[in-house]
Amino acid sequence: MDFKVIVCRDYDHMSETASALALAEIGRRRRARGECVLGLATGSTPVGLYKHLAKAANRGDFDAARVSSFNLDEYVGLPGDDPQQRVLHPESYSFYMVQELFGLLSVKFRRTLLPAGTLIDQAKMLSELEEFPGDWRLAGEDKGKAVIIKPDCSSKYLSWIRRGILGGYAAAIEAAGGIDLQVIGVGGRGHVGFHESGIPFDAGRTLLVRLDKNTIENAVADGHFPSVEESPRYAVSMGAELVFRARTVLLVANGPRKTAPISESLLKEPGCACPISHGRVSARKGTRVIYVLDQAAAAGILPEREKLRRGGIEIEDISSGSAAVKVAELKFFTDPVTRRWA
């Protein structure tokens, strides 16, 4: 099982270390097949990593024109009268990616794709869900639920969402040859993207998720939306099963709010209560999983280092090392003779 954990000093050290690993992986995949497909996440955690990647691309460390990307998720129901207004809303994940990565690149990625949640008219979708209750069901053990639309549904609009929005995104990833390097963060309850706690792993490769009330209210309380009425109630997201199909998954996490989900994902049996725990299942099947954590996020697992080692998970603590990070210095990812990326 190829599952490694690197413990860094703080957020900046974590971001620099993660970027060094990402750059090495981009180079390795480019050498292997001429291009690299990235999976990207939003949120505050990967911002530092993205700034390092943009600077590296602009220095010429890699050819951004040979890179494609797929994002984890996007809201359904952003304010706006049409898809263009919704995709340009400052809280859309499309806007985030332009602001935090795409817009920083001197040479743009060859292709950038996000789930087309902004194409869905939330009012129309809610009307169809109400009119055709036999076309769908909810799946999930907690407040956030996946909306499972039946293959033979009567509603043309729901059928389009199932086939065009959800199935189309998964098909586009498959047509690209799959994701080489997937960057993810982790939510406070172990969710990845909008695959929320309790949604089954087999709910679908791409999910239509009904957000729980607390998620909606928190978005308002955090200042992202002015009212509950204007806050999105749904989202489109890669499911955990699709996320961890990537050849390499790079998880970044910092701060004490991430201590519990990181510990649960590594110390308890994998299960949908903690979606990122699916990484351990996928690592046994050949996915390379790397956690890059600051000391606070790693606080719950450091005392359990031996237990994790017996389970096939190695921890490398570089928190007292130099701020300048090179892949060759990370012993778990280099050949001891050639000192090259393994």
Amino acid 1: pLDDT:
82
Neighbours of 32 (CB within 10 A): 11
How many residues can be counted in the chain?
342
Q: Is residue 342 part of a domain?
A: no
pLDDT band at 58 (very low <50, low <70, confident <90, very high): very high
What phi-psi label fits residue 193: left (phi over 0), alpha (psi between -120 and 50 degrees) or beta?
A: left
Q: How far is CA 50 from CA 17, 125, 215, in A?
A: 12, 34, 25
211 part of a folded domain: yes
Q: Which two tokens stand for residue 30?
A: 């480019």
* CATH code, domain with 210: 3.40.50.1360
Phi first, then psi, for residue 250 (nearest 5°) are: -115, 105
Number of domains in the chain: 1
pLDDT tens-place string over residues 155-183: 999 999 999 999 999 999 999 999 999 99
pLDDT tens-place string over residues 111-149: 999 999 999 999 999 999 999 999 999 999 988 999 999
Q: What is the predicted pLDDT for the residue at 83?
A: 95
Query: 281 near 270, Cβ under 8 Å?
Result: yes
Residue 267 counted as domain residue: yes
Return the CA Rg of the chain.
20
Q: Is residue 292 part of a domain?
A: yes
Residue 228 lies in a domain: yes
Residue 127: domain span:
3-333
Asked whether residue 341 is assigned to any structural domain, the reply reads no
CB 266 within 8 A of CB 280: yes
Q: Is residue 338 part of a domain?
A: no
Q: What is the pTM of this model?
A: 0.93
Strand order in the sheet with 136-139: 73-76, 234-238, 206-210, 145-149, 136-139
Percent composition of the chain: helix, strand, coil (DSSP 3-state, to 5): 45, 20, 35
**Mean of the per-residue pLDDT values for the chain?**
92
Rounded Cα distance between 50 and 330, Å, is 20
Q: Of the given ranges (5-14, 70-79, 211-220), which has the lowest mean pLDDT?
A: 211-220
Query: Does residue 339 fall inside a structural domain?
Result: no
pLDDT over threshold 60, residue 26: yes
pLDDT value of residue 143: 86
